[in-house]
């Protein structure tokens, strides 16, 4: 028997749940791409995109996923042979670093493991030791989606300042923009990147780069930049065509317009941050209760270092895969795979899973997902502590 019929819940860390209103906004005939409504609507996205990253600087929109803006951001500031520093807390830090290597940069990874954030003292020590200022940029990931560790981006700026180091601070906020608190300008971030499909509730396919004047000065001499990936015409187009270096992603733009209206003009960004924090606390409360007995364990011990967008869980092989399979077949919920925690093909790979709680999620969706996990643990006969749903609902009741 399955109880999975009904509306399926996608609780993976991206792509996230798309609001019906965003889908409806995209359901339209192909628009005129030369002038009129689409052009005006696209202009209206720019101030809202700046607001969501809390910056007054420039933004460029790309037709591409997160990997596209990883590469585009690097290409605009690096020359072949440049040295970059990657403080890694999971798979995504390494991934961005690999992209820099392929562009011809000399990449130095500081691996902070899979369970703790970037150690700012060690980072500062490394910067102080770089007397010749060889390090051109720091490739930081605010929330590493594989481990659900959130690192302190403002603290990295402070470390750079204390070390008197001129490296650019680049922040990957793909997982957590509009979920975890982020202030590009106040935190001294030079380049921020994100995508449409996580906190921004729009299908995958749009990538964003916000950059300040320091970053744009690096663009002046970067020899990795190519015409298509150049951020300058996109951020300051003379004509509409230049926004996208070609045909605009028409329907995605309508979807994004609706999502930004919901996020910024209806809910408000600070309220969205607070919602994500509250719902994340409910998720953690449930996992902490389950973890009192048996194999369930949150990957990140200290709540201060946990993302509000995604939660990585350790449960032991093969229970991660078994639980995910049970939930999707029997309860109508898809959980995220464990990513980068064990090599694919290794039996240990099946010992992890992730819960996405980014974007268009509310208390009832979170309680539903947690309730389904509770049932899954019981169905699979996995020992677990009691009172998880009670603990989660207690957190939500205090909202």
Ligand X SMILES: *Cc1c(COP(=O)(O)O)cnc(C)c1O
Is residue 195 involved in binding ligand X (CB under 6 A)? yes
Rounded to whole angstroms, the Cα distance separating 154 from 128 reads 18
Nearer to ligand X among residue 76 and residue 143 (C-beta): 143
The answer to whether the beta carbons of residues 27 and 256 sit under 8 Å apart is no
Nearer to ligand X among residue 195 and residue 359 (C-beta): 195
What tokens were used for 231? 């951020």
Interaction residues for ligand X, span 143-162 (CB under 6 A): 145
CB of 155 to ligand X, least distance (A): 18
CB of 193 to ligand X, least distance (A): 8
The contact pattern for ligand X, residues 83-102, with x = CB under 6 A and - = no contact, is ---------x----------
- CA 182 from chain centre, in angstroms, equals 12
Nearer to ligand X among residue 156 and residue 372 (C-beta): 156
Nearer to ligand X among residue 88 and residue 175 (C-beta): 175
Nearer to ligand X among residue 255 and residue 291 (C-beta): 255
CB of 179 to ligand X, least distance (A): 11
One residue of 172, 180, 230, 374 binding ligand X per CB under 6 A: 172
Residue 96 CB burial class (10 angstroms; 0-12, 13-18, ≥19): buried
Is residue 311 involved in binding ligand X (CB under 6 A)? no
CA separation (Å) from 206 to 111, 183, 368?
A: 29, 21, 30
The answer to whether the beta carbons of residues 336 and 13 sit under 8 Å apart is yes
Is residue 204 involved in binding ligand X (CB under 6 A)? yes
CA separation (Å) from 197 to 130, 144, 255, 355?
A: 37, 16, 11, 16
Nearer to ligand X among residue 68 and residue 372 (C-beta): 68
Is residue 206 involved in binding ligand X (CB under 6 A)? no
- Residue 340's nearest CA partner among 330, 353, 329, 327 is 353
Is residue 237 involved in binding ligand X (CB under 6 A)? no
The contact pattern for ligand X, residues 47-66, with x = CB under 6 A and - = no contact, is ------------------xx
CB of 216 to ligand X, least distance (A): 23
CB of 169 to ligand X, least distance (A): 16
Nearer to ligand X among residue 15 and residue 376 (C-beta): 15
What tokens were used for 77? 């500031």
Nearer to ligand X among residue 38 and residue 68 (C-beta): 68
Rounded to whole angstroms, the Cα distance separating 384 from 236 reads 56
φ/ψ of 333, rounded to 5, equals -130, 130
Is residue 141 involved in binding ligand X (CB under 6 A)? yes
CB of 176 to ligand X, least distance (A): 7
One residue of 73, 168, 170, 175 binding ligand X per CB under 6 A: 175
CB of 263 to ligand X, least distance (A): 18
SS3 of residue 88 by DSSP:
strand
What tokens were used for 284? 């953690």
Nearer to ligand X among residue 151 and residue 393 (C-beta): 151
> If you write DSSP's letter for every residue of 23-66 in order, what string do you get?
HHHH-SPPPPSSSSHHHHHHHHHHHHHHHHTT-SSEEEEEES-H
Nearer to ligand X among residue 67 and residue 214 (C-beta): 67
Task: Enumerate residues 6+ apart whose C-beta is below 8 A from 138.
Answer: 84, 85, 86, 87, 123, 156, 160, 167, 168, 169, 170
Interaction residues for ligand X, span 250-279 (CB under 6 A): none
Is residue 174 involved in binding ligand X (CB under 6 A)? yes
Rounded to whole angstroms, the Cα distance separating 345 from 111 reads 23
One residue of 12, 14, 52, 157 binding ligand X per CB under 6 A: 14
148: left (phi over 0), alpha (psi -120 to 50) or beta: left
Query: Residue for token digits 């449930």?
Result: 286
Q: Which stretch binds ligand X (CB under 6 A): 169-177, 287-295, 318-326, 369-377?
A: 169-177
What tokens were used for 81? 């042979």
Which residues in this chain contact ligand X in the complex, by CB under 6 A? 14, 65-67, 92, 141, 145, 172, 174-175, 195, 204
């Amino acid at each position: 028997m399955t109880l999975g019929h009904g509306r399926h819940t996608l609780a993976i860390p991206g792509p996230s749940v798309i609001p019906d209103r965003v889908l409806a906004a995209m359901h339209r005939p192909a628009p005129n791409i030369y002038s009129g409504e689409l052009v005006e609507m696209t202009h209206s996205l720019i101030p809202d995109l700046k607001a969501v990253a809390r910056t007054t600087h420039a933004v460029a929109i790309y037709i591409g996923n997160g990997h596209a803006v990883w590469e585009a951001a690097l290409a605009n500031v690096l020359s072949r042979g440049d040295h970059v520093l990657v403080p890694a807390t999971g798979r995504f830090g390494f991934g961005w670093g690999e992209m820099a290597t392929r562009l011809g940069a000399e990449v130095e990874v500081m691996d902070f493991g899979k369970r703790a954030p970037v150690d700012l003292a060690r980072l500062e020590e490394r910067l102080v030791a770089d007397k010749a200022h060889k390090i051109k940029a720091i490739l930081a990931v605010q929330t590493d989606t594989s481990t659900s560790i959130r690192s302190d981006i403002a603290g990295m700026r402070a470390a750079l300042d204390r070390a008197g180091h001129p490296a650019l601070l680049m922040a990957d906020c793909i997982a957590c923009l509009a979920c975890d608190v982020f202030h590009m300008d106040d935190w001294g971030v030079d380049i921020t990147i994100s995508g449409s499909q996580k906190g921004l509730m729009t299908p995958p396919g749009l990538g964003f780069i916000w950059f300040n004047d320091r970053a744009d000065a690096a663009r002046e001499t970067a020899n990795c930049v190519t015409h298509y990936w150049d951020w300058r015409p996109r951020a300051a187009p003379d004509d509409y065509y230049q926004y996208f270096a070609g045909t605009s992603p028409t329907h995605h733009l309508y979807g994004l317009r609706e999502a930004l209206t919901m996020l910024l003009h209806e809910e408000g960004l600070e309220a969205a941050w607070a919602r994500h924090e509250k719902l994340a606390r409910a998720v953690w409360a449930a996992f902490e209760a389950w973890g009192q007995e048996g194999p369930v364990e949150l990957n990140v011990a200290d709540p201060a270092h946990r993302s509000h967008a995604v939660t990585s869980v350790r449960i032991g092989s093969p229970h991660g895969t078994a639980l995910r399979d049970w939930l999707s077949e029997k309860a109508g919920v898809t959980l995220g795979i464990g990513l980068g925690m064990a090599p694919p093909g290794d039996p240990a790979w099946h010992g992890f899973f992730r819960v996405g709680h980014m974007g268009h999620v509310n208390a009832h969706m979170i309680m539903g997902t947690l309730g389904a996990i509770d049932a899954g643990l019981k169905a699979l006969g996995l020992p677990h502590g009691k009172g998880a749903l009670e603990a989660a609902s207690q957190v939500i009741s205090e909202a």
